[in-house]
Amino acid sequence: MEEWIHLDRPEEEINLLSPLTWAYVGDCVYELYIRTNLVNKTNLKPHKLHIETIKYVKAKSQAKLLEKIHDKLTEEEKDIVRRGRNAESHHLPKNANVQEYKYATAFEGLIGYLYLTKQFKRLKEILDLAV
């Protein structure tokens, strides 16, 4: 995957990006991980795959997952989470309360940050805790 996805920004620049930008990328990375995992471990048809995927990627599930792994995070990762949680979003959640939405954004921000900074080993460790 690294051969065809170019992550060219230095870490100093990534640190200056908005936590919502990290979350934008993290949302995609996390959903792709879940979808791929389900395809590898089940024989479900596409609609059922979609239904199963939603169970993992909805805000409430992501917020619970962040709570579950929080003590396993480094101080730097907890800082990334804090920045993501406190990011000012003008989007109103549809299927979650505001707190769940903020924690889901924080989780996605962490995933996106780890991905953008090429911390793939740590990213996999955290993603593996999700399933």
User: ∠ CA(47), CA(48), CA(50), 5° rounding?
Assistant: 65
CB-based contact 32:130 (threshold 8 Å) = no
42 burial type by CB count under 10 A (0-12 exposed, 13-18 middle, 19+ buried): exposed
Of 8, 27, 71, 79, which residue is the catalytic one? 27
7 vs 115: CA distance, rounded Å: 9
Specify whether 27 is catalytic: yes
Which positions are catalytic? 27
